[in-house]
Each structure stands twice: as structure tokens, then as C-alpha cells.
């Protein structure tokens, strides 16, 4: 029986980045090495490998105004008390769901108005230039499919743009859900309006956010110290409310709401969750298979903006290594297990056999595109 992919965070210390080749320790050197990585001949032992598959993480969305997890201004770095909700907590605890949806209610505004940045658009260009075959993203912000709808993208951990009922499986748009939350929680809605008025959700500077009492996290929520989360209310699944589903033994579930339409704790169904893979939740088998196929169909893999701290992402790079695929990592700071990915690369490597850079993706990737286009013009002119 195959081991399931599961979204489990790695909490151990990460090693310092290994810069490969050694001259990739500057932006110019990194661009040169990445150019060699993308333009190198197809590995002889992977005749069916097509292009490069990208594996992206929260770091690629920092320039869009979202925090990453482990960067210098990341959620785990700045907020030592932060811990994400786990799947079993969400399913089993009404109070945990109140806390989750209260934080999500505040954080959604910032996420909803954020847009893809220059790194996402550079990924689009890499696809159009024929260097990238597909993208696997750990991010739930939907920026990749927005920035490059024609480049195949697999959202490994789901997405925040929709919800799904854990009982009947029906989907529900997040924007409509936000409106329902606002009506059910007028005091929280007033607080949100106040935060918007003072600009607490406008700034991309984590220090300024903290000064205003807000911390926006990569999963689209806001950490609000000492907030009365127990007062928050959330709606029931409208499909379950209309027709409560049956249990496996044929028993009809119960879905009840209060006078305002909020889910009641007497209910046994009708629970909506974000359409994301929460920590501790298994990735669906079809998504797992699609991710593995994307690795197997490619000739190279480049990790962008990820420390590979979740097992589901790290395992994909491990799979690429076992296939003998050249590996690249463009990430500020260390990455889980990176020493094993590059240990057999010789000193004469110019980036063609593997590359490791510790640079900002939104700065490096657009310059990489310009360099690749210049190289292409030179080939045509020659």
C-alpha cells in the first residue's frame, strides 16, 4: 500500500543554503547559473523528460503582500506562538472552527485584493519560451492559475477561492461565504472596516502590520491577539441544510441553524471547510498521482520560494533525485534536505547539473527572462 501524501510541517532547524555553483552567490551569478540550468541539454538517461517542472512555495508570493512561513519576515519567524489549525481539530471542534473562520474573515480581504507579482509573470514567460512544462504549487492563493492560465498548474494543497462541505462534498464560493460571515458577525465586520480604514490591511510591511495588531499569514488568515473568537459565527452548508445527508448506516444527519442562519452546535453535518489541504490532512490520491506524473514527465525540477518543510513537497524533490533529474533551488534561506540533493555534483558544474541560489524570486526571475531572451536572439543571429 502506497504511503499517502500528507501536509505535515517540518519543525526542525533548516541548514544554511548551499550555493551552487559558487559564483551563484550574487544576483548576476545566480542569473547566469539559472540560465545554464534551463538551457542545458536534456539528460541522456531521461529521453522522455520534457522541460522543467517548477515546484513553488510561499516565498514566491511575498512580493504580492503575503507573508511566507520561514523567511526573515515569515509567520514562524516573527510570531513564535503561531500554530496553524490541524485537520482533525477543524473537524472535531466547533470552537476551533470559530477561531479559524474569525481569523480567515479578517485575512481574506488582504488575500482577495492581492495579485500575482513579477515572479508569477516570469513563470508565465518561462512557459511561453518553452523552458517550463508545468507548475506544482504548494500555495493556496491562486496566483499561478491567474498569472499563467495556459501553463499546466497543479495546486498541491488546494486553494482558498472555494469551500467544500466535509459531509456532502458540494463547493461554495469564498467570496459569497465572506458576505455571509459579515452578516452573521456585525461587530467583527465593524472591526474589519476599521482596520481597512486605518490601513492595517493595506501595508505589505510586517512591522507596520504588527504595530496595528495584525499578522497576515500564508494560509490567508490574520492572528489577532486576545480576540473573542468564541463569539464568531459561521453558516451551515446550504445543500446539507436543505437535504441533510445520510450516514453510512442509513441514519439521517441533523443540520440546524440559529435565528440568523448560523450553524448550530446541535448539528451533526453541514460543516464547510476551505478547499485547502490542511495540516495533517491527506492529499487526494488523484492529486498525488498528478504531482508524481508531472515529476516523471519532466527532465529537470526547479524549486522556487520553498524550504520544502512539508513532506508532500520534499517527497517530490526526493522522487526527482531518485530519477536522476538535475535539481535547482531558488529560495532565500535553507531548504530541508538540500545537502542530499547536491552532494554528487562536481566542482566543474556551471549550473547545468544543478543550481542553488539564495535570492528573491521576484527580482531574479524577470532578469532571468531577459537573459534567456537575449541568449535566444544570439542563437538566431548566429
Catalytically annotated residues:
157
What is the spatial distance between Cα 30 and Cα 370, in angstroms, rounded to a whole number? Answer: 14
The SS3 call for residue 245 is: coil
Which strands make up the sheet holding 272-276, listed edge to edge? 171-173, 158-165, 272-276
Long-range pairs, 153-158, Cβ under 8 A, ≥24: 154/287, 154/290, 154/291, 154/294, 156/277, 156/283, 156/287, 156/291, 156/312, 156/313, 157/7, 157/276, 157/277, 157/283, 157/310, 157/312, 158/274, 158/275, 158/276, 158/277
What is the spatial distance between Cα 230 and Cα 167, in angstroms, rounded to a whole number? Answer: 23
What is the spatial distance between Cα 218 and Cα 235, in angstroms, rounded to a whole number? Answer: 24
- The grid coordinates listed for 262 are 448560523
The Cα-based distances of 335 to 306, 310, 357 in angstroms read 7, 11, 11
Q: Binding site for Zn(2+): what residues are annotated? A: 165, 168, 237, 240
Q: Binding site: what residues are annotated? A: 165, 168, 237, 240
Kind plus residue range of the DSSP H or E element containing 328 = strand 327-330
What is the spatial distance between Cα 123 and Cα 55, in angstroms, rounded to a whole number? Answer: 11
Amino acid at each position: 500500500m502506497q504511503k499517502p501524501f500528507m501536509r505535515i510541517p517540518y519543525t526542525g532547524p533548516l541548514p544554511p543554503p548551499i550555493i551552487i555553483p559558487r559564483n551563484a552567490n550574487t544576483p548576476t551569478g545566480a542569473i547566469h547559473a539559472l540560465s545554464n540550468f534551463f538551457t542545458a541539454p536534456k539528460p541522456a538517461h531521461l529521453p522522455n523528460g520534457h522541460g522543467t517542472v517548477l515546484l513553488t512555495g510561499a516565498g514566491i508570493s511575498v512580493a504580492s503582500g503575503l507573508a511566507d512561513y520561514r523567511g526573515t519576515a515569515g509567520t514562524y519567524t516573527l510570531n513564535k506562538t503561531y500554530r496553524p489549525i490541524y485537520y482533525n481539530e477543524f473537524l472535531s471542534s466547533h470552537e476551533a472552527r470559530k477561531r479559524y473562520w474569525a481569523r480567515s474573515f479578517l485575512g481574506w480581504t488582504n488575500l482577495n485584493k492581492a495579485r500575482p507579482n513579477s515572479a508569477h509573470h516570469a513563470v508565465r514567460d518561462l512557459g511561453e519560451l518553452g523552458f517550463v512544462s508545468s507548475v506544482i504549487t504548494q500555495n493556496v492563493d491562486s496566483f499561478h492559475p491567474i498569472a499563467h492560465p495556459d501553463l499546466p498548474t497543479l495546486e498541491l494543497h488546494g486553494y482558498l477561492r472555494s469551500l467544500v462541505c466535509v459531509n456532502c462534498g458540494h463547493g461554495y464560493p469564498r467570496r459569497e461565504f465572506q458576505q455571509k460571515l459579515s452578516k452573521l458577525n456585525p461587530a467583527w465586520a465593524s472591526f474589519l472596516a476599521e482596520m481597512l480604514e486605518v490601513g492595517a490591511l493595506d501595508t505589505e510591511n510586517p512591522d507596520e502590520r504588527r504595530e496595528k495588531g495584525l499578522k497576515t499569514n500564508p494560509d490567508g488568515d490574520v492572528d489577532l491577539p486576545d480576540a473573542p473568537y468564541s463569539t464568531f459565527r459561521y453558516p451551515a452548508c446550504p445543500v446539507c441544510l436543505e437535504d441533510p445527508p445520510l450516514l453510512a448506516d442509513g441514519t439521517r444527519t441533523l443540520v440546524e441553524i440559529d435565528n440568523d442562519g448560523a450553524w448550530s452546535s446541535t448539528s451533526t453535518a453541514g460543516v464547510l471547510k476551505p478547499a485547502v489541504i490542511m495540516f495533517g490532512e491527506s492529499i487526494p490520491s488523484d492529486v498525488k498521482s498528478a504531482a508524481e506524473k508531472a515529476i516523471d514527465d519532466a527532465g529537470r525540477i526547479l524549486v522556487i520560494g520553498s524550504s520544502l518543510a512539508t513532506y508532500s513537497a520534499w517527497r517530490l524533490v526526493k522522487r526527482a533525485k531518485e530519477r536522476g533529474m538535475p535539481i535547482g533551488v531558488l529560495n532565500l534561506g535553507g531548504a530541508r534536505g538540500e545537502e542530499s540533493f547536491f552532494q554528487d555534483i562536481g566542482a566543474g558544474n556551471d549550473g547545468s547539473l544543478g543550481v542553488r541560489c539564495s535570492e528573491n524570486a521576484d527580482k531574479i526571475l524577470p532578469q532571468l527572462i531577459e537573459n534567456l531572451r537575449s541568449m535566444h536572439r544570439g542563437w538566431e543571429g548566429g
